[in-house]
Amino acid sequence: MTKDPKVLANRLLQRAWNRDGLPEIGSGLFSLVAAGLIYAMQILPRRSPGQIAAILIFAFVLPLYGFCAQPLVKRIRSRWLLERAGYVQHLPNRNLKRNNLRLLAVMAVVMPLVFLAFNYSERLLLPMTGALGALICGLVGWSARMVRLMAGGAIMLATAILLALSSVPVMIGMAILFGSQGLYYLLTGGVAFLRFMNDER
């Protein structure tokens, strides 16, 4: 066990946050919807109402999930799971916001450079998305020491590399990548949720 109380506290908080599987179920649903929209954008006729709707939802509605997911999970817990999960009021996490901004800044610089280095190869989109997803899943999983979250990152990276090496069109590959990731997190989140609800502690 670590002797630094701050490290210990952050680990316990991360584990507590992911214990009931709700954040995973949320990100699983998000990934499945994203996969469906990417697929719809590819197969629907160009500039048809369906394709335009899919593009608009993908561009404007889906990113909203990123802002709403955390408050939504908190609300579900306090409304229906208070007796099981317990009550907690978190301190405002300025470090998290700062770290997210740093990650965005690094990606904004690194990704165009990698694309330039590989001569704008479209097929790079798959391994790059896989690597970024694996990095995020890996960091979240490592900070909570939760194997299932880290495994999700590894699966995403492996799937992305396999798809990049295959002859699948890139955007269909993206839909498969997000779809498989969504199914994985829906499954692990669902199992975690059932175990949490059956835990009689």
Partner 1 sequence: MSADIQKLGEVDRMIHEPARLMVVALLSAVKEADFQYLHRSTGLSKGNLSVHLSKLEEAGYVAIKKTFRGKYPLTICRLTERGREVLENYRKVIRAAL
Q: Report the alpha-carbon distance of residue 185 to residue 182 in Å, rounded.
A: 5
Check residue 83 for interaction with partner 1 (CB under 8 A): yes
Min dist CB 67 to partner 1, Å, is: 21
Q: Which of residues 19-48 bind partner 1 (CB under 8 A)?
A: 19
Check residue 86 for interaction with partner 1 (CB under 8 A): yes
Q: Report the alpha-carbon distance of residue 48 to residue 26 in Å, rounded.
A: 30
Check residue 198 for interaction with partner 1 (CB under 8 A): no
Q: Which CB atom, from 20 or from 180, has the smaller least distance to partner 1?
A: 20
> If you ran DSSP here, which 8-state letter would residue 92 be given?
P
Q: Residue 2 has which token pair?
A: 């670590």
Q: Taking Cα atoms as reference points, which of 139, 135, 152 lies closest to residue 188?
A: 152
Options 47, 87, 108, 167; binder of partner 1; rule CB under 8 A? 87
Q: Which of residues 130-189 bind partner 1 (CB under 8 A)?
A: none
Q: Report the alpha-carbon distance of residue 64 to residue 115 in Å, rounded.
A: 27
Check residue 13 for interaction with partner 1 (CB under 8 A): yes
Options 55, 84, 151, 193; binder of partner 1; rule CB under 8 A? 84
- Residue 91 has φ and ψ, to the nearest 5°, of -80, 150
Q: Taking Cα atoms as reference points, which of 114, 151, 112 lies closest to residue 134?
A: 151
- Among 67-75, 83-91, 140-148, 172-180, which window interacts with partner 1 (CB under 8 A)? 83-91
Q: How would you label 163-188 residue by residue, b for 16+ Cβ within 10 Å and e otherwise?
A: bbeeebebbebbbbbbbbbbebbbeb
Min dist CB 180 to partner 1, Å, is: 31
Options 91, 108, 116, 147; binder of partner 1; rule CB under 8 A? 91
Q: Residue 151 has which token pair?
A: 């495994």
- Residue 166 has φ and ψ, to the nearest 5°, of -85, 180
Q: Which CB atom, from 117 or from 145, has the smaller least distance to partner 1?
A: 145
Q: Which CB atom, from 46 or from 201, has the smaller least distance to partner 1?
A: 201
Residues that bind partner 1 (CB under 8 A): 1, 3-6, 8-10, 12-13, 15-16, 19, 82-91, 201
